[in-house]
Amino acid sequence: MAIDEQNFRYQQRGVSASKGDVHKAIAKVDKGLYPQAFCKIIPDWLGGDKDFCNIVHADGAGTKSSLAYIYWRETGDLSVWKGIAQDSIVMNIDDMICVGVTDDILLSSTIGRNARKIPGEVLSALINGNEEVIQFYNDLGFPMVNTGGETADLGDLVRTVVVDTTATARLRRDRVVDCARMKPGQVIVGLSSWGQASYESEYNAGMGSNGLTSARHDVFSKVYADKYPETYDGAIDRSLVYSGKYLVTDRVADMPVDMGKAVLGATRTYAPVVRAVLQSIDLKKIGGIIHCSGGALTKCMKFGKGLHFIKDNLLPVAPLFQHIQACSGTAWKEMFSVFNCGQRLEFIVDADVAAEIVKISQGFGIAAQITGYMEASADGDNHVTIKSSHGVFEY
């Protein structure tokens, strides 16, 4: 298999930031009512109303649960499993807010575990964590309900535990945010992924739930390779397995949490910010909303047509990602395509509303700024240019 230059280390570990194989596999699958929208949107099968549409979305915490397993085994701290429950839910919600969903969400969870490694107390922490996160959203005025789910013992398939969520919502078609509206002349407003938002109870290092396979192995010590072989693929080159220098309980000067908790920090939701923006800003002035998940700061390239995203004023790289890069020596071109690096949500908007979006975000304690702008691409394909203190990178 050809290894893409900027994702060399990531792909050697069996993961692709661009998911080329996935996109090839679904190339002929119907793209729904709004083919350029961030999530697939279908007619209103739930209500049969032509003025409405449905969104059914599935995502999960990914390989972050492998690190939660190590942290729990090393410290006995069950609270990390609530974080995994939050990761799984937020990865759905923060995709769905990108198309305009802001209320009345149905959730269903799927937990696949190896019962020999994941006992009942962990299962309970995950299930109760789901309930606590759902209540957190409801308390924020973002209504959702747990409809149940499936818990399966899959020891022949799962080495530790896989935590996934499916979310369903119904939305008025005239409230859909469609990335097909992105156009040259608009600007990019980036929102920070780290710090402490007004609705967060503790410091968030900004990791999110993408790039965990590389973060886990690049940051943490080889000691975990022998101690917890169930947390990684034995076919990976040994030099890429837990090749970092930190124990999960080690602390560094520029973060108020240990390295394990920094990488495990529960994924921040931007739902309150997006809801406030959609209530305040004319929808016609919003070209698109991008959740910088798989593909990180190049994620935007998958949406719209004939666009050149020029990011020349990125928010500061969060301390956690500086540590990841220092531990691994990963090229910054790869870093920006695997990790959000401190910027995990982007609004593509008319320039005259950018300041209001920045103000709304800052009102929630989340740093934001105009981080770039849009031009027409020269060849009709989508491109991203990142101009940073670490160099200029073309994608």
Contact 55, 334 (CB under 8 A): no
Residue 1 pLDDT class (50, 70, 90 cuts): very low
pLDDT for 6 beyond 70: no
> CA distances (Å), 45 to each of 1, 94, 173, 337, in order?
40, 23, 13, 36
Q: State the sign of the Cα–Cα–Cα–Cα dihedral 263, 333, 95, 101.
A: positive
DSSP H/E element including 134: helix 120-139
What domain range includes position 376?
Answer: 5-394
Residue 28: which pLDDT band, with cuts at 50, 70 and 90? Answer: confident
* Percent of the chain residues topping a pLDDT of 90: 91
At 19 the pLDDT is 55
How many structural domains comprise the chain? 1
Q: 62-101 pLDDT, tens per residue?
A: 999 999 999 999 999 999 999 999 999 999 999 999 999 9
| Tally of CA atoms within 13 A in the half-sphere of 152 that contains its CB | 14
Tell me what pLDDT residue 282 has: 97
Scan for tokens 């919600």, then name that residue.
93
Q: How confident is the model at residue 4 (pLDDT cuts 50, 70, 90)?
A: very low
pLDDT band at residue 18 using 50, 70 and 90 as cut-offs: low
Partners of residue 164 on adjacent β-strands: 60, 110
Q: Which residues contact 340 (CB under 8 A, 6 or more apart)?
A: 193, 206, 208, 210, 292, 296, 297, 321
Residue 295: name the closest of 254, 330, 336 by CA. 336
- Across residues 262-289, what is the average pLDDT? 98
How does pLDDT run across 283-317, given as a tens digit for each residue? 999 999 999 999 999 999 999 999 999 999 999 99
pLDDT at 8 > cutoff 90: no
pLDDT of residue 31: 87
- Average pLDDT in the chain: 94
Q: DSSP character for 41?
A: B
What is the Cα–Cα distance from 310 to 301, expressed in whole angstroms?
A: 11
Q: How confident is the model at residue 9 (pLDDT cuts 50, 70, 90)?
A: low
Q: What is the pLDDT of residue 5?
A: 41
Q: If you ran DSSP here, which 8-state letter would residue 202 be given?
A: S
| Closest to 246 (Cα-Cα) out of 328, 316, 318, 317 | 328
pTM: 0.93
pLDDT at 14: 61
The pLDDT tens digits for 145-204 are 999 999 999 999 999 999 999 999 999 999 999 999 999 999 999 999 999 999 999 999
pLDDT at 13: 62
- The pLDDT assigned to 25 comes to 72
Do 384 and 297 contact (CB within 8 A), yes or no?
yes
The predicted pLDDT at position 11 comes to 65
What is the pLDDT at residue 22? 57
Is residue 144's pLDDT more than 90? yes
CATH code of residue 371: 3.90.650.10
Residues in the chain: 395
Strands 161-172 and 105-113: antiparallel
Residue 87 near residue 132 (C-beta atoms within 8 A): no
Measured at the CA of 333, the angle between CA 13 and CA 341, to 5 degrees, comes to 85
> DSSP states of 66-99 as a string?
HHHHHHHHHH--THHHHHHHHHHHHHHHHHHGGG
304 close to 288: Cβ distance less than 8 angstroms: yes
Q: What pLDDT is recorded for position 199?
A: 98
Question: Rounded distance, CA 39 to CA 221, Å?
Answer: 37
Taken in order 61, 63, 67, 68, the sign of the CA dihedral is positive
Question: Where is 162: in which H helix or E strand?
Answer: strand 161-172
For 170, half-sphere exposure in the C-beta direction (CA atoms, 13 angstrom radius) is 10
Residue whose tokens read 């666009």 = 307
Copy the structure tokens of residue 166.
């499916």
